[in-house]
Amino acid sequence: MKFTRACLVEPRKFGFFEVDEEPGAGQVLIKIAGCGMCNWELNFWDGHLNFQGYPHKLGHEFAGVVAAIGPDCKNLRVGDKVSAVDRGFGGFAQYRVTNEAACEKLADHIDPKYAMGEPQKCIITVLRATEPEAGDYGVVLGAGPMGMWCIQGLSGHLLSGLIAVDVDDSRLEMARSFGASHVINSAKEDVVARIQEITSGRMADFVIEGTGIPSLLDSAQDYLKSGRGRLILMSSHHEACQFDFRKAVDRGLEFRVAHPPYSRDERDDFRRAVCFINNGTFINEPLVSHKFKLSEIQTAFETMEHKPRNFMKGLVVPD
């Protein structure tokens, strides 16, 4: 099958390549319906990371429809809607050859364009690391897409309170619509005082940090209860920061880096994530603020890099 793939050819520059690939044993060919844009890939865009040399494939949040199957495939058929988590990028393309074992079926009513299961896999890792208990008070710092998915996933856990913190009122209102019981605009309110008020002085059992702002890691300790309050690092940090471990030591706090290597079982996290997509726990379409054609991928990454005020989540859709 001949198709077009977008690849970085140098930092901050995409090119387009015609490739010819067929599925091998245990593989399927997916017609890409949509591929999400991940902030982490900006590290490849600006040249700070490079795993492949140039041209360098990108795009790892893809879903679509099975267009062909190779020998020895047992579970999928042509026409099945799937989301996939497979190594090697390549989602910014019209098609992608993918291991069948890396795919999960989507329900018939799900639009695969928005079924980017890879980031939800990461959310399941975060939620399992958080270990929420009935009656907990939880805080989600940062109402971006990852924070919103955390709120969606936590909204059914019978918490005493689920608090979203951000500086954007429109995002906070969206967080409330997804299940946050309280919202705090940290640009206008004293976060510690508000959490004390909401929790009647108890403070939070857990805080999920999803801002990527290094200084907030230290501040987040002040939101937690003494005695095994859990600080969950969800976002990626690429700069050194000061972190006062005296607070953690004096108050017996726990610090968990809930990135993919922390997962108990990444494949099972992905299975659980697609179950949540299929049953409506994870709702993706409202979080997509910007859609781009594959031919517009240069503009897409420039937009994600500079992030206009209304940017939430980008999606690349093949032409």
- The pLDDT of 78-97, averaged and rounded, is 97
Of 307, 291, 282, which Cα lies nearest the Cα of 148? 282
Give me the percent of the chain exceeding a pLDDT of 90: 94
Res. 16 pLDDT band, cuts 50 70 90: very high
The CATH homologous superfamily to which domain 120-262 belongs is NAD(P)-binding Rossmann-like Domain (3.40.50.720)
pLDDT of the residue at 240:
80
* Residues 32-52 as b or e (16 or more Cβ within 10 Å = b): bbbbbbbbebbebbeeeeeee
SS3 263: coil
Instruction: Determine whether domain 2-116+284-317 maps to CATH 3.40.50.1820.
Output: no
Q: Is the pLDDT of residue 203 over 80?
A: yes
Phi-psi region at 118: left, alpha or beta (left = phi > 0; alpha = psi -120 to 50): alpha
Intrachain domains 2-116+284-317 and 120-262 with the same fold: no
Tokens of 62: 């893809």
Gap between the Cα atoms of 81 and 115, Å rounded: 10
Res. 116 pLDDT band, cuts 50 70 90: very high
Record the pTM: 0.95
Q: Is the pLDDT of residue 271 over 90?
A: yes
Res. 238 pLDDT band, cuts 50 70 90: confident
Residues 93/59, Cβ–Cβ less than 8 Å: yes
Out of 135-144, 239-248, 286-295, which region has the weakest mean confidence (pLDDT)? 239-248
Gap between the Cα atoms of 194 and 68, Å rounded: 55
pLDDT of the residue at 157:
87
Give me the percent of the chain exceeding a pLDDT of 70: 100
Specify the residue for token string 């906070």. Answer: 172
pLDDT of the residue at 39:
94
Gap between the Cα atoms of 45 and 30, Å rounded: 25
Tell me, rounded to whole angstroms, the distance of Cα 77 from its chain centroid. Answer: 28
- The pLDDT of 136-152, averaged and rounded, is 98
Of 3, 10, 119, 46, which Cα lies nearest the Cα of 305? 46
Q: Is the pLDDT of residue 215 over 90?
A: no
Q: Is the pLDDT of residue 199 over 80?
A: yes
Q: Is the pLDDT of residue 239 over 80?
A: no
Gyration radius of the chain's alpha carbons: 20
pLDDT of the residue at 241:
82
- The pLDDT of 109-115, averaged and rounded, is 98
DSSP state for residue 154 in the 8-state scheme:
H
pLDDT of the residue at 236:
85
Res. 9 pLDDT band, cuts 50 70 90: very high
Gap between the Cα atoms of 235 and 246, Å rounded: 23
pLDDT of the residue at 18:
98
pLDDT of the residue at 64:
99
- The pLDDT of 70-77, averaged and rounded, is 98
Q: Where are the domains of the chain?
A: 2-116+284-317, 120-262
